[in-house]
């Protein structure tokens, strides 16, 4: 009896300890800061890989990083509003999306402004960005943590080079080019000489396959990751936009963190951005031969012709009217 009693009591105590232990685990998981991120990219895109492998683990002591890819949580272009409304904590946003709220961000969407990945970083970390960042924080409640490199955007067409060789913007006349769906993106398509069609990223593969569009523009790593090479025949290396995404976080969520947690989140974002940048650069350098092996023609057009047309169209546009005085010169001065 005594033994039974003692045994039962030990078991009960043990069960209580296990129960209390699991409650602690549950409580800890609940206590962690939830960081949901929504993005249209796939989970194999280098920005996603960097966030999964570097960002999440680096903040896991106090935050639960919960990314959703392929726009499954929020549609492309709706993430910033979701963060502003408190329905989402993080995204990798574009200058084009920010330009919807703050037209001056269109300066970072203009063709041939950023020169390369290092220039993007120098611009993002320069004091010239401070008023841009502050406005996004004050008016949208979104903090831009770091800049991610997407790559140099190239024109990728269904037509074969034999049917359509693109050397100058005039050669893109009448080409139905899918561009992402904001004014800043559409204008870039026009500046290239094409007829832009807005469409969400997740619909592009099917649109290329069915011929709903003639082509799309994206950096080579994206062309490969999204398998656009399966449904296109050529890539014109216009390098018209050195594209970026900002790692964005809810300012409210960030401000509620301790200074140590904030520092850890900032460092994790910077590390993830750097890791992703190096991987993306490596891929960009390697992928021309991969695409040629897949049967695509990959060639350089008359770059001066593209640069001249794109730059002059931007300077004459309503976008340039919103660019703060002297910022373009400062951006240029940070480049080569």
Which residues, 182 to 201, sit near ligand KDO by CB under 6 A?
201
Residue 131 dihedral angles phi and psi, to the nearest 5°: -65, -30
Residue 80 burial (C-beta neighbours within 10 Å; 0-12, 13-18, 19+):
buried
Q: Which residue, 110 or 264, has its beta carbon nearer to ligand KDO?
A: 110
Of 34-42, 82-90, 186-194, 252-260, the window that binds ligand KDO (rule: CB under 6 A) is 34-42
281-315 burial, b at 16+ Cβ within 10 Å, e below that, comes to bebbeebeeebeebebebeebeeebbeebbeebbe
Choice from 91, 94, 232, 239 touching ligand KDO (CB under 6 A): 94
**C-beta of 154 vs 245, nearer to ligand KDO:** 245
User: Which residues fall within 8 angstroms of residue 167, CB to CB, at 6 or more apart?
Assistant: 301, 302, 305
Report helix, strand or coil for 246.
strand
**Cα 228 to Cα 118, 231, 289, 310, distances in angstroms:** 27, 6, 15, 25
In this structure, are residues 250 and 63 in contact, taking their beta carbons and an 8 Å threshold?
no
Strands 142-157 and 234-250: antiparallel
Q: How far apart are CA 301 and CA 223, in angstroms?
A: 18
Of the pair 45, 214, the CB lying nearest ligand KDO is at 45
Scanning 36-44, 113-121, 307-315, 325-333 for contacts with ligand KDO by CB under 6 A, the matching segment is 36-44
Shortest Å distance, C-beta 78 to ligand KDO: 12
Residue 92: both structure tokens together: 């990798």
CB of 35 or CB of 150, closer to ligand KDO: 150
Nearer to ligand KDO, 74 or 201 (CB): 201
Q: Binder to ligand KDO among 40, 189, 196, 221 (CB under 6 A)? A: 40
Burial, 50: exposed, middle or buried (Cβ in 10 Å; 0-12, 13-18, 19+)? Answer: buried
Which of 218, 232, 239, 280: binder of ligand KDO (CB under 6 A)? 218
Pick the stretch among 33-41, 126-134, 158-166, 167-175 that binds ligand KDO (CB under 6 A): 33-41
Q: Which of 39, 172, 194, 242 binds ligand KDO (CB under 6 A)?
A: 39
Tell me the closest approach of the beta carbon of residue 147 to ligand KDO, in angstroms: 12
Q: Which is nearer to ligand KDO, 45 or 171 (CB)?
A: 45
Tell me how far, at minimum, the Cβ of 222 lies from ligand KDO, in Å: 5
Distance in angstroms (rounded) separating the CA atoms of residues 334 and 268: 25
Binding site for ligand KDO (CB under 6 A): 39-41, 45, 76, 94, 180, 201, 218, 222, 245
């Amino acid at each position: 009896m005594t033994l039974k009693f003692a045994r039962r009591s030990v078991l009960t105590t043990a069960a209580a300890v296990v129960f209390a232990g699991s409650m602690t685990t549950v409580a800890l998981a609940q206590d962690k800061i939830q960081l949901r991120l929504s993005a249209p990219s796939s989970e194999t895109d280098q920005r996603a890989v960097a966030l999964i492998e570097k960002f999440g683990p680096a903040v896991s002591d106090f935050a639960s990083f919960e990314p959703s890819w392929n726009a499954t949580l929020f549609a492309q272009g709706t993430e910033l509003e979701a963060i502003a409304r408190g329905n989402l904590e993080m995204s990798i946003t574009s200058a084009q999306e920010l330009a919807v709220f703050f037209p001056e961000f269109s300066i970072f969407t203009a063709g041939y402004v950023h020169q390369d990945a290092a220039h993007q970083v120098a611009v993002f970390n320069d004091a010239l960005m401070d008023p841009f960042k502050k406005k996004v924080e004050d008016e949208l409640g979104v903090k831009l943590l770091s800049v991610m490199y997407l790559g140099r955007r190239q024109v990728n067409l269904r037509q074969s080079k034999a049917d359509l060789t693109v050397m100058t913007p005039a050669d893109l006349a009448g080409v139905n080019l899918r561009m992402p769906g904001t004014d800043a993106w559409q204008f870039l398509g026009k500046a290239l000489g094409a007829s832009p069609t807005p469409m969400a990223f997740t619909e592009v593969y099917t649109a290329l396959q069915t011929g709903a569009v003639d082509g799309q523009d994206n950096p080579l790593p994206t062309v490969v990751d999204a398998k656009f090479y399966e449904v296109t025949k050529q890539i014109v290396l216009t390098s018209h936009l050195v594209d970026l995404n900002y790692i964005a976080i809810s300012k409210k969520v960030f401000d509620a963190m301790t200074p140590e947690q904030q520092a850890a989140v900032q460092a994790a974002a910077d590390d993830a951005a750097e890791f992703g940048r190096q991987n993306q650069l490596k891929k960009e350098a390697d992928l021309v031969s991969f695409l040629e092996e897949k049967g695509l023609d990959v060639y350089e057009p008359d770059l001066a012709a593209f640069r001249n047309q794109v730059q002059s169209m931007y300077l004459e546009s309503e976008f340039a009217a919103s660019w703060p005085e002297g910022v373009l010169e400062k951006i240029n001065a940070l480049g080569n």
